[in-house]
Amino acid sequence: MTLFKRFLDFYINSSMHVALAVLSFCILTACELGLEISINFYTAVFFASVAGYNFVKYFGLTKFYYRSLTTKLKYIQLVSVLSLIGFASIFFLLQLSSQILFVILGLITFLYAIPMGVKTPKNLRSIGGVKIYIIALVWAMATVVLPVLESQQTFVFDHWILGVQRTFIVIILMLPFEIRDLDTDQLHLSTIPQKIGIPYTKIIGYAMLGDTILLEFFKHEFNQNNFLILISSVALLAVFLAKSTKKKSRYYTAFWVESVPILVLIFVVVLTLIQKT
């Protein structure tokens, strides 16, 4: 195994890549809405995303197999602990409204991985048909509602439209994962590909992309740059969804698909630099 591949695997498995994707969405929200947000908030979002995702992915392993954990998992556990400490050190520097929503999102994350009662082994993740919608809702709250709260802005109609658009985009982001895992996901999960098959899953994804574009025209303020950013997101998602199959490697989904908000943010930076010249 090459050094680069080991680094890439650790970067993905430790949830730093998905945390960077969440962070990118937050920055894109701030750019679109013209929000002024401190670096403390962005740092808190990154640390919380790393700790939260690692808790969901590895809680069972660290609880029941702690003594037999591999070196890689112990390093991931260390990253998680450091991220949690980093988040805790910043938490009380945030706006009270942001703190409250962070706690709510943390509770949802906890219930997503932990059984909801003594008599039931079910957690939110194992409830059939709702997994993708829970993830989309959490991402929308974390990357749209949180930035607005932290900037102390009053919620207006355009903010809610953006929240719906972000929810749609995250659902579409999840579809390549569900297509990849079609043969391995347990039947009780009732994922979209399990219920309607891959071709119809893609059709639904394309329809949601169209709805996402259509929603832009319902906003009170139409901004050409924001529309270009949205079109770039939709184009990337359409390509990744079109190429999704059950045989795609984990790097296709866990790295490339989750890179969509990061790539869009890079596009925004380049577009801004071009317009300033």
What pLDDT shows up at residue 119? 59
Chain mean position to CA 130: 16
What pLDDT shows up at residue 226? 93
What pLDDT shows up at residue 228? 92
Split into its structural domains, the chain has a count of 1
Q: What is the mean pLDDT of residues 69-85?
A: 88
Q: Is the pLDDT of residue 126 over 80?
A: no
Interval 154-202: pLDDT, tens? 999 999 999 999 999 999 999 999 999 988 888 878 899 999 999 999 9
Interval 211-223: pLDDT, tens? 999 999 999 988 8
Angle at 224 between CA 175 and CA 25, to 5 degrees: 40
CA distances from 208 to 136, 171, 173, 241 (A): 13, 9, 11, 12
Range of the domain at 25: 3-276
Q: How far apart are CA 24 and CA 52, in angstroms?
A: 17
Of the candidates 2, 38, 17, which has an alpha carbon nearest to the alpha carbon of residue 260? 17
State the average pLDDT for the chain. Answer: 91
Q: Is the pLDDT of residue 91 over 80?
A: yes
What pLDDT shows up at residue 60? 60
What's the whole-model pTM score? 0.92
User: Is residue 276 exposed (0-12), middle (13-18) or buried (19+ Cβ within 10 Å)?
Assistant: exposed
Q: Is the pLDDT of residue 49 over 50?
A: yes
Angle at 105 between CA 101 and CA 108, to 5 degrees: 140
Of the candidates 191, 184, 194, 202, which has an alpha carbon nearest to the alpha carbon of residue 244? 202
**DSSP three-state, residue 117:** strand
